[in-house]
Each structure stands twice: as structure tokens, then as C-alpha cells.
A and B are shown apart, each in its own frame.
Chain A
Amino acid sequence: DGGITQSPKYLFRKEGQNVTLSCEQNLNHDAMYWYRQDPGQGLRLIYYSQIVNDFQKGDIAEGYSVSREKKESFPLTVTSAQKNPTAFYLCASGSSWDRGLNQPQHFGDGTRLSIL
């Protein structure tokens, strides 16, 4: 079945450590997105990519980095510069046009990141 796979489901980060969250999709979608979800805050956009080898900062990009070397993959690195990384991270993909109509964005099951 087509979908989005995020791994790992749970991740722990030590002080000063960079960690990378994986996101893979087999939906042939051009665009991919990373969101952060905190309790009571809703979803906030970290980075997004509309095409391979290109990406844009979202509202809260500081302390994060991404790459888009393949259409199927959009990994997110949480760097040591992100001082409050504990959150639920959601990856999504989307494609605007399918026979001329918008199609819904699809989401992975998320990665929960905590500080050790």
C-alpha cells in the first residue's frame, strides 16, 4: 500500500547530540513537509520541499536541518542548537494536481523525540 513511513517511532537525544528523523513516501508526491506538534500548540511548520534538491524554511526552522536528495525521502536533523526539541514530529507529503484537482495531504504516524 502507498503511504508515508516515519522512523523511529520513539527517539531519545542526549545533550549536544544531533539526531535524524527519517521520512519516506511511496506516493510519488512532489512535496514533503515536516511539522512539530506540542501539547496545546497545534502543528507548526519546520521545513518543506516542493521539489528534489530544493527546500524552504517554515515558521520554526531554527535548530533544524533537512535534505531532499530523492523524491521519496525527506530526513529531518534536530541539531544541538535546538534547545527544546521534546515534541511529536510529523512528516507529510502532498501533490497539488491529479486530474486537475487538489489531493489531500498524507501524514506519517510521527516520531516522539525526548531529551535524556
Chain B
Amino acid sequence: KQEVTQIPAALSVPEGENLVLNCSFTDSAIYNLQWFRQDPGKGLTSLLLIQSSQREQTSGRLNASLDKSSGRSTLYIAASQPGDSATYLCAVVVSGNTPLVFGKGTRLSVIA
């Protein structure tokens, strides 16, 4: 059974710092991997989706990488801002329209 782990569970950094969030999954046979952001009491917003054939995706200050063989993904946030404070969730899809399998998330606080 696919399991997704995110480390650390919580992270606090000063504004302007570059940071990396980690995600690992137990079965490397994934269809794609998705990073989400969740603000308190809100739904999930998709940040980046990496196809199984891709190594990385970039959107603005965000860069996500995927190493299927080692079962790892990282989300790199450059020049962090207080508005980046949220919970970041990593999820994988095994095939087609099958459900996402989620990690428990990393709660990020960026201090001004």
C-alpha cells in the first residue's frame, strides 16, 4: 500500500529565507505527484503537478522536483514571504483517475 511521508511536520523561518519541504513515498510506480497549499479552514489549492516522466516543475518562486527511483520529491520555496505561511501537502496518484494518497503535510510559518 502506498504511503506518503512529509518531513518536517512544522517549520518556522524568517522572511526572505529559501527553504525546502520534503516528501517521500514507498512505491515508486506513481502516475504523478502533486503539491498543494492549504490555508486554515480552507480547501486545497494545487501548486504544482509533476508527471511521472518529468524531473521538475516551476511556478514563480516555487520549484518541485521528483526522483521516482528513490521515492522522493522536494518543494523549494525561494525568498519566503509571510504570505507563504500555510500547510503544504504532497500527494501521489498511482494510476488514471485513482484517488490521491496524501502525506500529513508540513505547516510552514514565515516570520516577518
Interface residues of A, Cβ cutoff 8 Å to B? 4, 6, 30-31, 33, 35, 40-43, 45, 48, 50, 58, 88, 90, 92, 94-96, 101-110, 112
Contact = CB atoms under 8 A, between A and B. Distances in A.
Interface of B: 31-32, 34, 36, 41-46, 49, 51, 89, 91, 93, 96-97, 99-100, 102-105
Contacts of B96: 50, 96
B3 to A, nearest CB: 11
A42 B41 CA distance: 13
B79 to A, nearest CB: 24
Top 3 nearest A-B pairs (CB, nearest first) are A42-B104, A104-B46, A31-B97
Contacts of A40: 104
11 contacts: A43-B89, A43-B100, A43-B102, A45-B99, A50-B97, A58-B99, A102-B32, A105-B34, A105-B46, A106-B46, A110-B41
Given A43-B89, A102-B32, A90 B97 contact: no
Contacts of B31: 102
Given A41-B104, A109-B43, A104 B34 contact: yes
Contacts of A58: 99
